Amino acid sequence: MQDGLWDLYATNPDLNVNTLEWDSAHGKLLVYTAATTQVQPLFDEHLSGMPVELVPAKHSKRTIDAVLDRIASTGGDLGNGQRVVTAQPAKDGSSIALGVEGTTDARGRLAPLNAP
């Protein structure tokens, strides 16, 4: 399976997949993506016969990357004395968990993605 994944990503560097996760309880690879119809043929070709399940994501990897790029472009500055220090997207693209710190405290926040 690992060789098939290497081939898949080597030949499709812009593959629109949010994340991959091995489901050991069911012995299959979970592929979180908003582009299920786009990536299904690629996984069928490169991982033929392997147990793969496509899990629909709420937002695409491209949308999530655009949000993260926007945060990074400001150095994480929120304009209120706080700044984003960590950002962890949910596997299904529904939210991004933000670690925020200010001058005197640190807190976490779950930011829903309302981007198109």
Helix, strand, or coil (residue 37): helix
Write the DSSP symbol of residue 30. E
pLDDT in tens, 2-58: 788 888 888 887 888 999 999 999 999 999 999 889 999 998 998 888 899 999 999
Q: Whole-angstrom Cα distance, residue 94 to residue 115?
A: 10
In whole angstroms, what is the distance from residue 43 CA to residue 37 CA?
11
Each residue's pLDDT tens digit, 57-66 = 999 999 999 9
Determine phi and psi for 26, rounding to 5 degrees: -115, 0
User: Using an 8 Å Cβ cutoff, are 62 and 38 in contact?
Assistant: no
DSSP 59-85: S-HHHHHHHHHHHHHTTTB-SSS-EEE
Q: What is the pLDDT of residue 115?
A: 47
The residue-averaged pLDDT of 109-115 equals: 59
φ/ψ of 105, rounded to 5, equals: -150, 170
